[in-house]
């Protein structure tokens, strides 16, 4: 039964994504579909960019900010789990939780005066917002490596760097990957705010739709974002299995 559910679940998901894929690639089909859903609106397809273009911008925002977030989270996590870095643990944890409580919109409002409009403030806001899951999972993962295993590795003559790279990180990888997954998925959603500061992405039709009271615009932006998030999540699930 569980197996059947799993299989039908997969079939439903895949066909759902397929249908959406077709809609994405064919503006004509998309227009028909949206006119059917929103009969009262005269303009249903966001005119300034195609969904494909906006998805591309969106992915770039997510990719760049995730690389930074993973870099900072991973190195922070490694730092505070070293013998000489343990003192920084409370500071680093407090700081990253504090940053997490900042609404991304507020971060945008604060960074725009400093770095101007566009891609950069959006990336800064996204990075700050997505460090925490990577950092926390890196700390948890590295701390979960049993003492005996580290002791054996050191006792056999591995240098501290070798212990980290050959023993601790490989053992912690599943946990760290879980944090990366959370962080990237959060980023896919949060990146819609980028359009506020002119960074483009799938937030553009949403913001424009809200302003012009056009629910079809909002709908296509939100739908595309959801599909992107789901797809990336599936890719991570597949990676974790491997």
Partner 1 sequence: MIELHGVTKKYANQTAVDNLSLTIYEGEITVIIGPSGCGKTTTLRMINRLINPTSGSIKVEGRDIKDTNVESLRRGIGYVIQNVGLFPHMTVARNIATVPRLMGWSKEDRLKRVLELLDLVGLNPEDYKDKFPAQLSGGEAQRIGVARALAANPPILLMDEPFGAVDPLNREVLQGEFLKIQKKLKKTVVFVTHDLDEAIRMADRILVMKEGQVVQYDSPEEILSHPADNFVRDFVGTNRALKRLSRFSVEESYRKVSPVTEEAILDKKMIKSLEKSEFLWVVDYKQMIKGWVQAEYSEMNKRISEVMTIVPYNELGVHIDDSLKEALSKMLAQGVRTLPVIEKSGHLLGEIGLDDIQRRSGKE
Among 36, 39, 47, 157, binds partner 1 (CB under 8 A): 157
Quick one: which segment of 5-13, 25-33, 106-114, 147-155 binds partner 1 (CB under 8 A)? 147-155
Quick one: which segment of 53-61, 97-105, 136-144, 146-154 binds partner 1 (CB under 8 A)? 146-154
CB of 76 to partner 1, least distance (A): 23
Among 37, 152, 210, 235, binds partner 1 (CB under 8 A): 152
CB of 177 to partner 1, least distance (A): 14
Residue 30 CB contacts under 8 Å (≥ 6 apart), including other chains: 23, 24, 45, 51, 220
Quick one: which segment of 92-100, 151-159, 207-215, 228-236 binds partner 1 (CB under 8 A)? 151-159
d(CA 17, CA 39): 24
Q: What is the DSSP string of 138-160?
A: HHHHHHTS-HHHHHHHHHTT--H
Q: What is the DSSP string of 84-151?
A: TTGGGHHHHHHHHHHHHHS-HHHHHHHHHHHH-SSHHHHHHHHHHHHHHHHHHHHHHHHHTS-HHHHH
Question: Residue 33's closest CA among 216, 179, 203, 184?
Answer: 216
Rule CB under 8 A: say whether 158 interacts with partner 1: yes
Rule CB under 8 A: say whether 242 interacts with partner 1: no
Among 171, 175, 177, 223, binds partner 1 (CB under 8 A): 171
CA 103 to mean position of chain CA atoms: 16
**Nearer to partner 1 among residue 5 and residue 156 (C-beta):** 156
Rule CB under 8 A: say whether 170 interacts with partner 1: yes
Asked if residues 197 and 121 have their Cβ atoms less than 8 Å apart, the reply is yes
Q: What number of other Cβ atoms are within 10 A of residue 26's Cβ?
A: 12
Among 99, 140, 154, 198, binds partner 1 (CB under 8 A): 154
Binding site for partner 1 (CB under 8 A): 146, 148-149, 151-159, 162, 167, 170-171
């Amino acid at each position: 039964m569980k197996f059947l559910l799993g299989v039908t679940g997969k079939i439903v998901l895949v066909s759902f994504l397929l249908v959406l894929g077709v809609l994405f690639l064919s503006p004509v089909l998309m227009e028909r579909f949206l006119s059917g859903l929103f009969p009262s609106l005269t303009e249903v397809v966001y005119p300034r960019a195609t969904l494909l273009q906006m998805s591309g911008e969106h992915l770039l925002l997510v990719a760049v900010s995730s690389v930074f977030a993973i870099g900072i989270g991973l190195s922070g996590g490694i730092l505070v789990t070293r013998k000489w870095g343990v003192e920084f643990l409370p500071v680093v944890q407090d700081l990253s939780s504090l940053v997490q409580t900042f609404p991304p919109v507020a971060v945008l409002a604060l960074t725009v005066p400093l770095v101007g409009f566009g891609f950069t403030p959006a990336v800064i806001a996204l990075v700050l917002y997505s460090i925490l899951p990577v950092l926390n999972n890196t700390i948890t993962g590295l701390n979960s490596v049993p003492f005996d295993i580290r002791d054996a590795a050191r006792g056999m003559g591995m240098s501290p760097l070798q212990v980290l790279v050959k023993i601790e990180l490989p053992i912690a990888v599943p946990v760290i990957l879980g944090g990366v997954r959370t962080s990237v998925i959060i980023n896919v959603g949060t990146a819609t705010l980028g359009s506020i500061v002119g960074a483009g992405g799938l937030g553009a039709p949403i913001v424009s739709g809200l302003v012009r009271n056009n629910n079809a615009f909002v709908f296509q932006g939100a739908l595309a974002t959801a599909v992107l998030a789901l797809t990336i999540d599936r890719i991570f699930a597949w990676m974790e299995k491997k």
